[in-house]
Structure 1
Amino acid sequence: MATTETTAGTPRRGGRGARERILRAAVELFARDGIHVTGIAKLTDTAQVSTRTFYQHFPSKEALVSAYLQRVESDPEGPVHGESVLERSDLGARERLLALFADSAPTQVVRGCPLHNAAVEAAGTMPEATALVERHKKELTERLIKTAAEAGAREPETLGRRLAVLFEGANALSTSLNSALPYQDARGLAAMLIDQATGAS
């Protein structure tokens, strides 16, 4: 693979695999430092590609942000993979709803939902990214409503929407406090809402 050097002597690699390296750099840097703080120079340096190579694969930073969100959304081991618990066939509907609020003691800084974080940073400036996040959140709410109906909720749409609010709130507060405790509190509240909605004692 051909390499070039910048004036600082940092090797730059183009060709095969450059797009994937740029995406990996985005996943690392956007989650750690934020989208706005991370400039093209930092991305190209981390990915070891030239600015020209970057723009050959992504015509704009917004295009990279959209690709980054799609990568995060589809990654089975990524930060939003916990939502897939709603599709598990080995758990009952009530258990799936509660499992969404599973917590674990953080071993590093809690970053929260990268899709939510991107929407906050975009703040109307990146319409494609904003639309992707909106679509994902609507689909999550629809999955919650469907699961609430399976759990026997009298008003599944109301329960599903309330659980979506609770889940998003737990994500945001966990990030602010760098703590998993909000998930524990949210799970307890979720159990109360589910029991009230289903008439469970």
Structure 2
Amino acid sequence: MEKESTSGARRRGGRGARERILEAAAALFYEEGIHATGVARLVETAEVSTRTFYQHFPSKTALVEEYLRRYEAGPARRVEERLAQEGLSPQDQLLAQFVMVAEAASGGAGDASTRGCPLHNAAVEAAGSMPQVRELVQRNREDVVRQFTDIATRAGAADPERLGRQLAVLLEGATAMSTSLDSHCPRQDALDAARVLIEHALPEAQPVN
């Protein structure tokens, strides 16, 4: 049922309120920034009352954490699906995330994806103010390095840990530079650079397509 708040804005309680809050957070945090988006803006967009908001999330920080966990799950699932594709060698798997990042740029310049990775954006905004968010992002990035390192080990890299770190830096840099330049070109540049890096790091490597 829709209700009028004392300010005249329509508010919808009941089932679906939590999902509407998360959908509003995903759009507003990404487009306008975490610090710039207050609870009042969130409840207005989600069409819930402030009371309903706090029934689902005890604080804005709790909402930020849930927003990031939900975002994190999506790319992680897509990466796992890509890595599980039949016939992908470890060498191809090392390149898979760069291929996915380049493919995501197919929408052209000006696409919302040039705003960068929500996790990276959150880490910048959370510096010194939201330690839980910083720790969540740090764990994610450590997982990325670990995944690259594990694959590099299977691929026979002489120094898999170093290659894992290098590829993670390259991947992070591609999305950050795309945001800074409002251009998708750095994503393709990162793919090209990853091919060279992988071929150089693997003694028996075949040219990577």
Tell whether the structures are fold-level matches, with TM greater than 0.5: yes
How far apart are 1:86 and its partner, in Å? Answer: 6.0
Distance 1:66 1:15 in 2: 23
Structure 2 equivalent of residue 37 of structure 1: 36
Say what the alpha-carbon RMSD is for the aligned residues. Answer: 1.7
How far apart are 1:81 and its partner, in Å? Answer: 5.6
1:55-111 deviation per Cα after TM superposition (whole angstroms, max 9, x unaligned): 1111111010001001101136xxx66543663232212212222112133441312
The residue identity in structure 2 corresponding to 1:116 is H
Query: Which residues of structure 1 form unaligned runs of 5+?
Result: none
Aligned residue pair count: 197
2:123 paired with 1:132: no
Distance 1:89 1:105 in 2: 22
1:173-193 deviation per Cα after TM superposition (whole angstroms, max 9, x unaligned): 011112121111111211111
Structure 1 residues 37-116: aligned runs within 5 Å: 37-75=36-74, 83-84=79-80, 87-90=83-86, 91-102=88-99, 103=102, 104-107=105-108, 108-109=111-112, 110-116=114-120
Distance 1:96 1:112 in 2: 23
2:192 paired with 1:192: no
Structure 2 equivalent of residue 144 of structure 1: 148
The question of whether the paired residues in 2 share the 8 Å contact of 1:86 and 1:143 is answered with: no
TM-score with structure 2 length normalisation? 0.87
Distance 1:124 1:12 in 2: 34
The question of whether the paired residues in 2 share the 8 Å contact of 1:85 and 1:100 is answered with: no
Distance 1:155 1:84 in 2: 23
The question of whether the paired residues in 2 share the 8 Å contact of 1:82 and 1:100 is answered with: no
Distance 2:77 2:37 in 1: 24
Provide closer, same or farther for how the CA distance between residues 169 and 30 of structure 1 changes in structure 2, counting only shifts above 3 A. Answer: same
Distance 2:42 2:137 in 1: 22
Distance 2:170 2:12 in 1: 45
The question of whether the paired residues in 1 share the 8 Å contact of 2:83 and 2:96 is answered with: no
Structure 2 equivalent of residue 159 of structure 1: 163
The question of whether the paired residues in 1 share the 8 Å contact of 2:146 and 2:164 is answered with: yes
3-state SS of 2:98 partner: coil
The question of whether the paired residues in 1 share the 8 Å contact of 2:43 and 2:49 is answered with: yes
Moved more, 6-15 or 172-181: 6-15
Distance 1:144 1:85 in 2: 15
1:116-153 deviation per Cα after TM superposition (whole angstroms, max 9, x unaligned): 11010001211111111111110111000011112221
The residue identity in structure 2 corresponding to 1:169 is G
Distance 2:80 2:117 in 1: 14
Provide closer, same or farther for how the CA distance between residues 82 and 148 of structure 1 changes in structure 2, counting only shifts above 3 A. Answer: same
The residue identity in structure 1 corresponding to 2:140 is H
The question of whether the paired residues in 1 share the 8 Å contact of 2:30 and 2:118 is answered with: yes
Structure 1 equivalent of residue 183 of structure 2: 179
3-state SS of 2:11 partner: strand
